[in-house]
Amino acid sequence: MSDAQQTDQPAYRRSAGTARGEARRLELLDKVTDDLADNGLTDYSLRRAARAAGTTHKVILYHFDGLEDLLAQALTRLRRRRVDNVLAAAIREHDTLAERIRRVWPVLADDASGLRVIDQAIGLAMYDPERYAHLATDAAAQYLDALLKMCPESWSAARKREVAELILATMRGFLAEWRTTRDAERIEAGMAGLIRALEREEAAE
Amino acid sequence: MSDAQQTDQPAYRRSAGTARGEARRLELLDKVTDDLADNGLTDYSLRRAARAAGTTHKVILYHFDGLEDLLAQALTRLRRRRVDNVLAAAIREHDTLAERIRRVWPVLADDASGLRVIDQAIGLAMYDPERYAHLATDAAAQYLDALLKMCPESWSAARKREVAELILATMRGFLAEWRTTRDAERIEAGMAGLIRALEREEAAE
């Protein structure tokens, strides 16, 4: 998403060019990001974004290329927040990968953190990819980077990638289950299967 | 969803009581199910259901407890169709579990089958669980049953459950990726990780 700032922008978006404009843009983005975390994505609108940022929808459109651009940027920031939480929970030097992943799940599933809006966005992208796929485009890449860092350094790049993608997909499946049915027992069983797989992967070194 | 037919229904739903009414209900359900498979869930409405079934929304409401009941029943049928496809692809007697799962993925991801509407429904349930979680309630149970059957018979119930839940969650994660970003390379890497895990699980017997 951040690449958008480097590319040519429509003429009406004049804020990106100046330090002051950029500061204002970030200030608006912060407020909308917090509003999304607090209140979720359901029926989000330019009107709601403007109210959250204490401004008008014209000002929002001056600083962003429309609602979807604003949402994509806010979601990228929220995912960054979640990934930071995940890394903070996972990084203790002498832990195994399996132990780290055990600690990561509650961070991802945490309802109190306000980060479930990220899973809402994935849901929206699955529901209507033609309109909303861009809300999910960079999601996997953001998490994957964190997961690759948790793998033993001695592993080959391909092996890290395969294990990280397996973990990422499984966590996404758990999140889909958790967000829709709240069935913790189901997730616990799947987690036991995943942990065993990771322990074997590490033992195979 | 099918339990709903056994429970007491509002007085206006008189069709369930007679064989003729039940036949008419199934006929309408078939047509709506095919429409969903062909055209997806985006902005689905009573009006669209009525048009697909060649009737009026009053007739739909006579036979179903509203749009959401109709959708839930249609999705249960479509999942049944997908699970049957999955089982047909997976069941060759002498295959390993890993080999079966390799063959299952293309069936789940098949765009031509019209079954991606099932993934749309999961997306909708993730986006707005308060309104749509019921569209996902039985989803896991339907798939899980098929996955349990693919596990070696000699495994304990707990072991089957853990491995089946791991596979289910991973497939859901792959589907979320596939439906939103179409990134086959990412899925292929994760699949390599999953297959290795399943091969080790089977070797540990």
ipTM entry: 0.89
Measured CA to CA, the distance from residue A124 to residue A135 in angstroms comes to 8
What is the predicted pLDDT for the residue at B92? 72
- B chain contacts of residue A169, beta-carbon cutoff 8 Å: 169-174, 176-177, 187, 190, 194
- B chain contacts of residue A174, beta-carbon cutoff 8 Å: 169
Percent of chain A with pLDDT over 70: 91
Q: Which residue of A has its CA nearest to B195?
A: A166
At B150, the amino acid letter reads M
Q: Using a CB–CB cutoff of 8 Å, tell me whether A71 touches chain B.
A: no
For the cut 90, the answer to whether the pLDDT of residue B9 exceeds it is no
- Tell me the average pLDDT of chain B: 90
Mean pLDDT for A140-164 is 95
Q: What is the pLDDT of residues A94-131, one digit of tens each?
A: 789 999 999 999 999 998 889 999 999 999 999 999 99
Element (H, E) at B193: helix B184-203
Measured CA to CA, the distance from residue A170 to residue A192 in angstroms comes to 12
SS3 labels along A158-186 = HHHHHHHHHHHHHHHHHHHHHHHHCCHHH
Alpha helices for A40-96 (secondary structure H): 46-52, 57-63, 67-90
CB contact under 8 A, B196 and A194: no
Give the angle subtended at the CA of B117 by the CAs of B3 and A185, to the nearest 5°.
55
Measured CA to CA, the distance from residue B145 to residue B142 in angstroms comes to 6
Q: Using a CB–CB cutoff of 8 Å, tell me whether B39 touches chain A.
A: no
Mutate to test the interface with B, among A170, A171, A199 (most CBs of B within 10 A): A170
Under DSSP, the state recorded for A17 is G
Q: What is the pLDDT of residues B121-137, one digit of tens each?
A: 999 999 999 999 999 98
Residue A38 contacts by C-beta under 8 Å, 6 or more apart in sequence? A114
Residues 121-150 of A with CB under 8 A from B: 122-129, 133, 136-137, 139-140
Q: Nearest C-alpha of chain B: how many angstroms from A40?
A: 9
Mean pLDDT for B187-199 is 98
Mutate to test the interface with B, among A108, A162, A198 (most CBs of B within 10 A): A162
Q: Nearest C-alpha of chain A: how many angstroms from B55?
A: 27
For the cut 70, the answer to whether the pLDDT of residue A198 exceeds it is yes
- Tell me the average pLDDT of chain A: 90
Measured CA to CA, the distance from residue B3 to residue B100 in angstroms comes to 32
Structure tokens at B172: 């859901």
Q: What is the pLDDT of residues A1-19, one digit of tens each?
A: 333 344 444 445 555 678 9
- Name the residue among B12, B197, B63 with its Cα closest to residue A194: B197
Tell me the count of A-B CB pairs closer than 8 A: 168
Q: Nearest C-alpha of chain B: how many angstroms from A70?
A: 18
φ, ψ of residue B125 to 5 degrees: the values are: -65, -35
Element (H, E) at A115: none
A192 and A154 Cβ atoms separated by less than 8 Å: no
Measured CA to CA, the distance from residue B85 to residue B82 in angstroms comes to 5
For the cut 60, the answer to whether the pLDDT of residue B101 exceeds it is yes
What is the predicted pLDDT for the residue at B13? 55
Q: What is the pLDDT of residues B50-91, one digit of tens each?
A: 999 999 999 999 999 999 999 999 999 999 999 999 998 887
CB contact under 8 A, A179 and B122: no
- A chain contacts of residue B161, beta-carbon cutoff 8 Å: 189
For the cut 80, the answer to whether the pLDDT of residue A205 exceeds it is no
What is the predicted pLDDT for the residue at B5? 41
Q: Using a CB–CB cutoff of 8 Å, tell me whether A184 touches chain B.
A: no
What 3-state class would DSSP assign to B18?
A: coil
CB contact under 8 A, A169 and B180: no
What is the predicted pLDDT for the residue at B6? 40
What is the predicted pLDDT for the residue at A14? 54
A188 and B138 Cβ atoms separated by less than 8 Å: no
CA distances from A202 to A151, A160, A195, B5, B151 (A): 9, 11, 11, 50, 24
